[in-house]
């Protein structure tokens, strides 16, 4: 059982604190993603787990075993790199065999394990080919097979799909997730791509400037962000600021310029707050249409409309220079422009309030 415990880990480069007092618990068999913008410390933390970067402070354990004091080859981890790190002078089979040869595995056992690893990544019969004969997706599969063949306790993946085109990225992320679930291996995945994190992860840790902003299931981070940074980083949102103007039952009334929004949360009258409202949770009402029970309505002037086929992105002018972004399905720009003034409905329970 390979659970990972990261206890108050830090890493400094001169005066720069790349990883700052991070503590995490990763469960056995979990697909755990470190997500954040460039320079937030996610790759440094991954390299500390692998043993490629030393700790300034803290400890890392696999189960009950402390591993941060061990050299990389004794940690029983395997790492898939962003640039694949495939040896051009070795065949596919030779690349996959590299870690086994370093461990002194017997030739017959090596053949069996190489064949099994290539079969797992759908490269049966590719052992004799050379790297220059493979596509980017196939090279990434070779890199994954080279990791799996040594049967590591922990699989580490550092932005492994960033060099692939968009369609292949979607295919490969599904394959990596399916393979991880099939093998029940503990995996830590680094990415700056929010969609990858949402699609693949059991849990996500959002990092910023070396610290953790939020750790939770992907769906919880998206629907209930802990901070304004997380709300904006995890996809498109309306992040507005206002002042608490009282309550309607359990709902806060938040004044934004000349408009009022309602949200479920805790704040005092007169307190300044910010709040997040996702564009896809807003529904445009037809003329005379009543909102769903419990929903609130804000009226606005139609701004820019971007037609993207199935989805239209719409801006509503709510006054004082503030815009409300809406994502609607099967909405035609001409139909919207004919309305002029727009009534937009939203559920106050889908509004996340942040106290300053």
pLDDT score recorded for residue 86: 92
pLDDT tens, position by position, 100-125: 998 889 999 999 999 999 998 989 99
% of the chain surpassing 90 pLDDT: 79
Q: Between residues 155 and 339, which one has the greater pLDDT?
A: 155
170/199 Cα distance (integer angstroms):
9
pLDDT at 1 over 70: no
In this model, does residue 330 exceed pLDDT 90?
no
pLDDT tens, position by position, 56-106: 999 999 999 999 999 998 999 999 998 888 999 999 999 999 989 988 899
Residue 339 has pLDDT above 90, yes or no: no
56, 246 Cβ separation under 8 angstroms: no
Using CA atoms, how far residue 265 sits from 14, 147, 261, 268, 351, in Å, is: 42, 47, 12, 10, 9
Q: Residue 133: is its pLDDT beyond 90?
A: yes
**pLDDT higher at 165 or 253:** 253
- pLDDT tens-digit map of 153-176: 999 999 998 888 888 889 889 999
Report all structural domains of the chain as residue ranges with CATH numbers, in order of start: 4-228 (3.40.50.300), 238-355 (2.40.50.100)
For residues 337 and 316, give the distance between their C-alpha atoms in angstroms, rounded to a whole number: 12
Mean pLDDT of 214-235: 96
Distance CA 256, CA 254 (A): 6
Q: pLDDT digit string (tens) for 274-320?
A: 999 999 999 999 888 899 999 999 999 999 989 888 899 999 999 88
> The pTM is what?
0.91
């Amino acid at each position: 059982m390979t659970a990972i415990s990261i206890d108050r880990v830090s890493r400094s480069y001169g005066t720069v604190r790349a990883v700052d007092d991070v503590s995490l618990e990763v469960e056995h068999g979990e697909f755990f993603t470190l997500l954040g913008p460039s320079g937030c410390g996610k790759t440094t933390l991954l390299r500390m787990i692998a043993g490629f970067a030393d700790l300034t402070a803290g400890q890392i354990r696999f189960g009950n075993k402390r591993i941060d004091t061990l050299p990389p080859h004794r940690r029983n981890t395997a790492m898939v790199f962003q640039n694949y790190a495939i040896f051009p002078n070795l065949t596919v089979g030779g690349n996959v065999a590299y870690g086994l040869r370093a461990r002194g595995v017997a030739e017959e056992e090596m053949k069996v394990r190489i064949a099994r690893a290539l079969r797992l990544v759908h490269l049966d019969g590719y052992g004799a080919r050379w790297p220059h004969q493979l596509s980017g997706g196939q090279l990434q599969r070779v890199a994954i097979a080279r990791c799996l063949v040594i049967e590591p306790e922990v699989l580490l993946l550092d932005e492994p799909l960033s060099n692939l085109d968009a369609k292949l990225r979607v295919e490969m992320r599904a394959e990596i997730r399916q393979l991880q679930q099939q093998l029940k291996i503990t995996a830590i995945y680094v990415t700056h791509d929010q969609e990858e994190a949402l699609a693949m992860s059991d849990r996500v840790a959002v990092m910023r400037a070396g610290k953790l902003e939020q750790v939770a299931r992907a769906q919880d981070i998206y629907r209930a962000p802990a901070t304004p940074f997380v709300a904006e980083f995890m996809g498109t949102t309306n992040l507005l600021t206002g002042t608490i103007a009282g309550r309607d039952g359990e709902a806060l009334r938040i004044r934004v310029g000349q408009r009022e929004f309602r949200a479920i949360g805790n704040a005092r009258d007169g307190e300044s707050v910010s709040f997040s409202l996702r564009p896809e949770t807003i529904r445009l009402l037809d003329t005379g249409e009543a909102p769903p029970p419990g929903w609130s309505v804000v009226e606005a002037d139609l701004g820019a409309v971007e037609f993207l086929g199935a989805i239209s992105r719409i801006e509503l002018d709510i006054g004082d220079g503030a815009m409300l972004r809406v994502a609607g399905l099967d909405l035609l720009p001409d139909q919207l422009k004919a309305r002029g003034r727009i009534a937009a409905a939203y559920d106050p329970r889908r509004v996340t309030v942040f106290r300053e």
